[in-house]
Chains A and B, each alone.
Chain A
Amino acid sequence: MTNSRSELTQIVVGIVRDPLGLVGLLIVGSIVFCAIFAAWIAPYDPVAMNIQARLEGPSLAHPLGTDQLGRDTFSRVIMGSQVALKVALPAVFGAMFIGLALGMIAGYGPKWLDNLLMLLFDTLRSFPTVMFALAVVALVGPSLQTVVLVVMATSIPTYARVARTQTLSLRNSEFILAERAMGASVFRILGVHMLPNIIGVLAVLAAMDIPTVIALEAGLSFLGLGVKPPTPSWGALLKDGYALIRQTPWLVVGGGLPVILATLGFTFFGETMRDVVDPKLRKQR
C-alpha cells in the first residue's frame, strides 16, 4: 500500500509542478468546493423569486444580477455546480467501470465474444452524440437520469476499447502466462493482475471526459431537454439568457463562464495528469 500511496503523491506533485496543471487543480478544487458548500456560499435561495428585482444588472446585492423572475444569478451559478457534478461524476465513473469490464471481457474472452462486443461498441459510437441524446430524450422524456444514461451509453465504447487494447497487450505477457500456468482463475488474473495495469489509463481518460460531459449536460439543459426547471443548472441559465439576450447580457455571461471555466479546469487537470501518469499516451488521442 505504501508503494501506491507514494505513486499517488507523485502524481499530485507532478500535476502541481506544471503551471497548467496547477491552474486546472485550483479550478477543479473550487468547483468541487462550491458544489459541496453551495448552500452556505449562495447568498440567496436559487429558486426564490423576487419580481420587484427582476432583470437587474450586477450590484453589491446581486454580483451577477437577477433573471426574469428576480432570482439571484450568482446563487444559481453556485448551485449549478452541484447539478454539473451530479451528472458528470456518476456518468463518467459508471461508463468507466462498465467499459472496463466489457473491454477486459472482449480482450480476454473468446474471439467471437470479442467480435460481438466490438460491433456493439462501433454501433454505439456510430451515432453523433447529441443526435443520439436528442433521440433518446424524445423517446423517454428529459430528466437528470436520462442525461446520465445517454452520456454513459455514448462514452462506454471509448473506455472499453482502451481497456480491450491494454488487456490484449497484457494477455501474453510473462507474468500473466505464469499466473495461468499456476492455475489462477480468470477472475484472479483479470481482477488482481490486469486491473491495476489498466485502471490508470482509464482514470486519465475519465478525467479528460468530465468536461465533455459537463458541456453535454449544459447543452441539453440549454435546449430544454436536460434537467427540468427550476433546478439551477448552468444550461438552464443559458436558456433563460438566450431568450433574454437583448434585455440583459448577464444571464448568458453568468451561465457561460462557469461552463467554460469548468471545462478548461478539468481539461488542464486531465491533460497534466495524463502526462504525469503516462507520457506515452500523449501521442495517442
Chain B
Amino acid sequence: MLSFTIQRIGLAVLILFVAVTAMFLMIRAVPGDPVQIMLGPRATPELQALLTAELGLDQPIWKQLAIFYGNLLQGDLGIDVFSGRAVTDIVFQQLPHTLWLILASIVWSAGLGIVIGAYAAAHPNTIIDRIAAAISVSFVAVPAFVLALLSLLIFAVHLQWFPAIGAGDGFWGALDHLVLPAFAIGLSWVGYIARLVRASMLEVMGEHHIRTARAFGLSERRIVMVYALRLAILPVVTVIGVGMGFLLSAAVFAEIVFARPGLGKLVIDSITTRNYPVVMGAVLVSTGLFAASTAIADLLNAWLDPRARSAR
C-alpha cells in the first residue's frame, strides 16, 4: 500500500509538473506580445518596458520558468495587473464558492443515483428497471449548462421559487442559492452513478457470498442493503474523483448562468478583461485540484479494494 501511495502521488506530481510547464510554455509561444495585449495599443514604450521587466519577460525562457516555479512553490501565482493584488489571494477567495457548489452537487446526485441504481439492480429487467435505464441515459446526455439555463428560466424567472443570481448570505440563504445550480450540474451525475451502481450491483449479486447469504435464508432486503450495496458503491468513489474535472467544468457554466462567485466566473471575467495572470492562476489551481482529487480517489479505491493496487 505504501509503495502504491508513493507511486501514485509521484505520478500526480509528475503530471502536474508537465501540465504546468506545458501551459507556461504555451503562454510564451503564443504570437503577440502579452504586454501589448494587456496595456492596449496606446501605451507608451516606457510603460511597456516597465511591465515587461515587472513580469520578468525580458529574461531568457529557462530563467523565466525557474522563477515561475520558485514563486509557485512559495504559493505565489503572480500579481493581478489591474488591482495589484496577489493572484493567489484572488483565486483562493473564489475557490470555496466553487467547492461548495461541487460538494452539494455530488451529495445529492450520488445519493439519488445510488438509490436508483440499487433499486434497478434489485429488480433487474422489470419495467421499473427499464424506465430507470432510459431516464439514466437521458440524464447523462443533457448538458449541464442548458439545464442551468432552462431551470433558471422555469424556476427562477417564471415561477420565482428560487433566487436567480448570487451566492446568498448566511446558511439558509446560501443553501437557497445552491439549489438550482447544484441541480443543473448534478442531474447528469444521477444517471451516470445510477448506471454504475446498477452494473456493479448486478456483478456483486452474482458472487458466492451473496448466494451463501441467500442459502442462510436472509431476507432479500437485508442482502441487497447490507451485503451487496456496500461492495457495489466502491466504484462510485473512483468515479467521483475523476468526475471532479467534469464538475469543475460544469461549475463554470453554472456560475455564469446564476451569476455566482467562483473559479469559473473569475476565469471568464478575467478573460474579458484580458487579465492573464488571473486566468492562468485559476486554471492552474483547478488543474491541481483535479489532479489531487483523482489521486485521492485512486488511493481510496486501493485502500478499499486491494485488487486495484497492482493495476495502473
Contact = CB atoms under 8 A, between A and B. Distances in A.
Interface of A: 20, 119-120, 122-123, 125-132, 134-140, 211, 215, 218-219, 222-223, 225, 238, 241-242, 245-246, 249, 252-253, 256, 259-260, 263-264, 266-268, 271, 282-283
Given A127-B287, A132-B283, A225 B137 contact: no
Contacts of B131: none
B contact patch SS: helix
B15 A119 contact: yes
B91 to A, nearest CB: 12
A131 B137 contact: no
Identify the interface centre among A119, A139, A222, A260: most chain B CB within 10 Å of its CB. A139
Given A123-B22, A222-B253, A238-B149, A264 B11 contact: no
A219 B15 contact: no
B19 interface: yes
A264 B135 CA distance: 11
Contact of B280 (A127, A135, A241, A266): A135
Contacts of B153: 245, 249, 252-253
9 contacts: A127-B287, A128-B244, A129-B246, A131-B283, A132-B283, A137-B271, A238-B145, A249-B158, A253-B150
Given A252-B150, A260-B143, 4 more contacts: A119-B15, A127-B245, A219-B145, A223-B268
Interface in B243-281: 244-246, 248-250, 252-253, 256-257, 264, 267-268, 270-271, 274, 276, 279-280
Contacts of A119: 14-15, 18
B141 interface: yes
A225 B271 contact: yes
A249 B145 CA distance: 16
Contact of B248 (A128, A218, A222, A252): A128
Contact of A283 (B14, B140, B199, B274): B199
Given A126-B291, A129-B249, A256 B271 contact: no
B15 A126 contact: yes
A268 B15 contact: no
B137 A130 contact: no
Contact of B134 (A20, A127, A249, A260): A20
A260 to B, nearest CB: 6
A245 B287 contact: no
Interface residues of B, number: 54
A127 B138 contact: no
Determine which residue in A127, A238, A241, A263 has the highest number of CB atoms from chain B within 10 A of its CB, and name it. A127
B30 interface: yes
B215 to A, nearest CB: 27
Interface string B16-40: 1011001100110010000000000
Contact of B19 (A126, A140, A283): A126
B279 A138 contact: yes
Contacts of A266: 141
B286 A128 contact: yes
B287 A128 contact: yes
A130 B291 CA distance: 15
A133 to B, nearest CB: 8
B257 A268 contact: no
Interface in B114-163: 134, 137-138, 140-143, 145-146, 149-150, 152-153, 157-158
A223 B254 CA distance: 11
Q: Which 6 A-B pairs have the closest CB atoms?
A: A130-B249, A215-B143, A267-B141, A128-B248, A128-B245, A123-B18
